[in-house]
Structure 1
Amino acid sequence: MIFNKHVKKIVKATLVSAAFVALATPATAQTLRGASMFDDNHTFTKTMVKFGDLVEQYYKGDVEFDLRLNGEFGVEKDYVTFLNQGVAIDYTILAPSNMARFAPSIPLMDMPFLFRDLDHWNTVLSSNVMAPLEQELSDKADIVIVGYAGGGTRNLISSKKISNMDELAGHKMRVMGAPIQAQVFNAIGAAPSAISYNEVYNAIQTGVVSGLENEAASIQNLKFYEVAPHITKTAHTITVRPIVFSGKSFRKLPADLQTAIMKAGKEAGAYGRELESREDAIKLKQMADAGQIKVSEFANREKLLVMVKPVQDKFAASIGATELLEAIRNK
């Protein structure tokens, strides 16, 4: 009987001690892993760093960010697979067209000649007009859009000068994998082909293609000017670059951390849009001043807008997004 009382006292003391240890030991921090194809000077990376800082500001618990740079985890098409499967990474910034294999409608965000100008682009992204596409991405790809970055103006980049319709005719160029990209550039007379992003430099160097289309930050960061020094200011796209989170990762997080992520994503997106749209012209000038690029205007750009409209309309109709396209145009 005395032995039993002794055992009970030891168990009680052990439980009390364990409780004090549990209270004194900090909870394990949530670790969220991100990925960027670029270095720490690229606007995507800066935007993701800002996103992490804002989450830490709004979340009262412990959270850590492990952001891997310089394509350590591959390229964007790899990121899409990882996010869909809920492995390797939790968040990144993606071009919508790279998510097309999971959500066929999502490339509408990325469609060339969609936005009239920066004001129109910012008005659209500050509204909820993209909500139907966000829902499709969540349902079909299990990827959650938490904010919208972007703001780079995409132009033609080529190994030889292209400044008019005649020079554009038959121009072999790399485009992103979504069919609408090839359809639009086919409509204006080019010869587009989808090539993996990490193979573009060599493809231009070996003559497989004569160029691509991209924004200034990526031209500078990946040194595309070394093989394609001619920039033609078609301004065919003002980029939409969603800050995205793996749905599988997101659902595992505490509710207050989810709330912090959504709030931080919206604010980081606005930060990224202002940053990239401001830096775009600066980076073009830096490269031009350094003699790395030669910049040309495209003659009769208005004709391109007319040529692509039927393609845009047909694509929107094929994905049941005619009303959405009109809503974007009317913003």
Structure 2
Amino acid sequence: MKRREILGAAGGVAVLAMPGIVRAQQPITLNGAVQFNDDHVFTRALVRFEELVKQYYNRPVNFVLHKNSSLGLEKQYFEYMAQGRAVDYGIVSPAHMSTFSRAAPFVDAPFLFRDLAHWNRVLDADLFAPVAQEVERRARVMLIGYAGGGVRNIFANRTASTLAELRGLKVRVQGAPIWSRAFTAVGMSPTVIAYNEVYNAIQNNVIEAGENEAAGVESMRFFEVAPNLLMTEHAITIRPICFAKQVFDRLPRELQEAVRRAGREAGVFGRQAESTEDSQKLDQLERAGRLRRIAFNERPQMLRAVEPVMMTYAREIDAEAIMTRINAITA
């Protein structure tokens, strides 16, 4: 009798000592977050990520994607992932990673790429790998793919087609210091305002303009308060697909492999979709009378004005070698 009790107790201890086995029988649930609705390309890229993970893992895994900023904004998503809670994956602007990596905002800096062909070559060459490694080491957030591809222009409540006409324009920019410094070098008056407050700020004449790609202009309806799109083409977006490292480390090895592979491919999907749809969205908005594109005639002069600022910034954040390699790439 005592022997059976001892064996039974030992068996119970063995089960308790192997919680991973018990948990492994339950489907894993991963929580994502995005600021936008179903139609936005960022949402579609994350849905594609989900589909690919399920395809490559080929075992039960659940995804819950929280849309329309229901869990806050991208800055909060990144903080949650760094803490290993609430959000497991999402798309986040590199500007929100600056607390952990001084070089992170450089990934999405203005005036960095000549055109889409140059942008694609840079991403294919994986020149931002040192930045991704630093973010993972210090923030415990992995950059598993690169979406983006929208060409950013200035939406404004007045027109401007030359540097002289841009002078003094009160424009909202992202929080990373390089954005304010670069736009100041061009002669504008940049200010940092939360993304979800831009519409009201223009409506109430706090600012005159913002800057975004076509998908953002459309989804946030910025054209209602700033119908002039100044075609400065000052940036091409890079939006990393992020994954919480603390969560990743707890996943089965096969699921880890699926996440890495799906992240890369979902990023390519997002880039192709956004770069293809960018001009199409602008065409549709212009035909509907919601905005009008204003040709900007002095882009080369604008780039020359910003070049010293960009080089100084690259030196400050130890990204000079990356910038040199970016400038050396021909397309």
TM bracket (short chain)? over 0.9
Distance 2:208 2:306 in 1: 22
Q: CA deviation at 1:96?
A: 0.8
**Aligned pair partner of 1:257 in 255, 258, 269:** 255
Q: Deviations over 1:199-218 (max 9, x none)?
A: 11111111111010000001
Alignment correspondent of 2:112: 114
Q: Which 4+ runs in 1 deviate beyond 3 A?
A: 4-8
**Aligned pair partner of 1:196 in 174, 178, 194:** 194
Q: Deviations over 1:123-148 (max 9, x none)?
A: 11122211111111112221100000
Alignment correspondent of 2:313: 315
Distance 1:162 1:289 in 2: 21
Q: CA deviation at 1:28?
A: 0.7
Q: Is the 8 A contact 1:27 1:62 kept in 2?
A: no
Distance 1:101 1:193 in 2: 19
User: Residues 103, 5 of structure 1: CA spacing in aligned structure 2 closer, same or farther, 3 A cutoff?
Assistant: closer
| Corresponding letter in the other structure for 1:219 | V
| Corresponding letter in the other structure for 1:291 | G
Distance 1:77 1:203 in 2: 20
| Corresponding letter in the other structure for 1:253 | L
Q: CA deviation at 1:228?
A: 0.6
Distance 1:229 1:31 in 2: 42
Q: CA deviation at 1:60?
A: 3.2
SS in 1 for 2:243: strand
| Corresponding letter in the other structure for 1:270 | V
Distance 1:159 1:49 in 2: 35
Alignment correspondent of 2:18: none
Q: CA deviation at 1:11?
A: 6.2
Q: Deviations over 1:61-93 (max 9, x none)?
A: 321110011010111111121111111100111
SS in 2 for 1:61: coil
Q: Is the 8 A contact 2:153 2:213 kept in 1?
A: yes
SS in 2 for 1:67: strand
Q: Deviations over 1:263-296 (max 9, x none)?
A: 0111111111000000100100111011000111
SS in 2 for 1:312: helix
**Aligned pair partner of 1:329 in 295, 310, 327:** 327
Kindly report which structure 2 residues correspond to 1:285-300, keeping only aligned pairs within 5 A, or say none.
Answer: 285-300=283-298
SS in 1 for 2:134: helix
Alignment correspondent of 2:62: 64
Alignment correspondent of 2:279: 281
TM-score when normalising by structure 2:
0.92
Alignment correspondent of 1:76: 74
User: Residues 5, 143 of structure 1: CA spacing in aligned structure 2 closer, same or farther, 3 A cutoff?
Assistant: closer
Q: CA deviation at 1:299?
A: 1.2
| Corresponding letter in the other structure for 1:326 | T
Kindly report which structure 2 residues correspond to 1:201-240, keeping only aligned pairs within 5 A, or say none.
Answer: 201-240=199-238
1:143 matched to 2:138? The reply is no
TM-score when normalising by structure 1:
0.92
Kindly report which structure 2 residues correspond to 1:41-56, keeping only aligned pairs within 5 A, or say none.
Answer: 41-56=39-54
Further displaced range: 244-253 or 230-239? 244-253
SS in 1 for 2:234: strand
SS in 1 for 2:180: helix
Distance 1:252 1:127 in 2: 30
| Greater gyration radius | 1
SS in 1 for 2:86: coil
Distance 2:100 2:200 in 1: 28
SS in 2 for 1:73: coil
SS in 1 for 2:205: coil
Percentage identity across aligned positions? 43
1:167 matched to 2:165? The reply is yes
* Superposed CA RMSD: 2.1
Q: Is the 8 A contact 2:49 2:266 kept in 1?
A: yes
SS in 1 for 2:207: coil
| Corresponding letter in the other structure for 2:136 | S
| Corresponding letter in the other structure for 1:66 | V
Q: Is the 8 A contact 1:98 1:176 kept in 2?
A: no
| Corresponding letter in the other structure for 1:50 | R
Distance 1:81 1:122 in 2: 29
